[in-house]
Amino acid sequence: MRPSSKTAILEAARRVAERSGIGGLTLDAAAQEAGLSKPGLMYHFATKEQMRVAVAEHITATWEEAMLAELGKPLDEATAAERVRAYCRVAVEPAGGKADLAIFVDSAHEEAWLAPWRAMLRRWLEEPALAPDSPSVDMAVARLAADGLWMADASGTSGYDQAMRAAVIDRIERLATGTGQEE
C-alpha cells in the first residue's frame, strides 16, 4: 500500500471519530470520508478492528513526531523533564483535539487499541522510581494536568479565556521541569 493512501484513510478515520466518536468509526464511514468504496478501504484494512488499531498507531506516531520536534533532539538524548515537557506541550495543543481524545478514551475498553498509547507513554513518560516531594512528582502532575487541559479543551468545558489558558500552560511547563512553585 502506498504510504499516502494509508495516511489518507487514517486521517479520514480520524475525522470521522472527531465528528461521531469511536462508535461512528465504521468501515463504511471511513471509506465514505476517504472517498473510497468499502471494498477499496477493505483492501487496506480487512476489519473495523484492524482499522481502529491502525488509527491508534497513526495518532501516537503523529504525537511522537510532534514531541520529537518539540525536543529538537533524539529521544534517547533527552532528560526525563525534557520528555515530559515535550509531551505536555503537544497534549495542550489544539491539534490533539477531540478525535484523539475520543480514540484514547475508548481505547481503555480494548487492549489492542490501548497498546500503542501505552507504548508511547512508556517511552516518553515512564520514570524508574518516584520519590515523594521530588521533581518526578511535579513531572507526573504536569502530565496529568496537560491531559486534563486536553480533555477540557476537546470537550469544550474549560471555559478559560486565552490569558487563563496561557497561565495554566505556563504552570504545567514549570511543573514539567520541576519548578512548579511560584518564585
Q: What is the pLDDT of residues 71-89, one digit of tens each?
A: 999 999 999 889 999 999 9
Average the pLDDT over 126-136 and give the result: 71
DSSP 50: H
**Which value, in Å, is the radius of gyration of the alpha carbons in the chain?**
18
Q: How confident is the model at residue 121 (pLDDT cuts 50, 70, 90)?
A: very high
Output the pLDDT for position 134.
75
- The grid cell for 27 is 468501515
DSSP 73: S
Q: Is the CA virtual torsion 22, 117, 137, 142 positive or negative?
A: negative
Instruction: Tell me how far apart the alpha carbons of residues 108 and 136 are, in angstroms, rounded to a whole number.
Output: 25
Output the pLDDT for position 10.
93
Q: How confident is the model at residue 167 (pLDDT cuts 50, 70, 90)?
A: very high
Q: Is pLDDT at 129 greater than 70 in this prediction?
A: no
In tens, the pLDDT along 11-32 reads 999 889 888 877 788 899 999 9
Q: How confident is the model at residue 4 (pLDDT cuts 50, 70, 90)?
A: low
Instruction: State whether residue 155 is helix, strand or coil.
Output: helix
**Domains parsed from the chain with CATH numbers:** 3-176 (1.10.357.10)
Output the pLDDT for position 174.
92
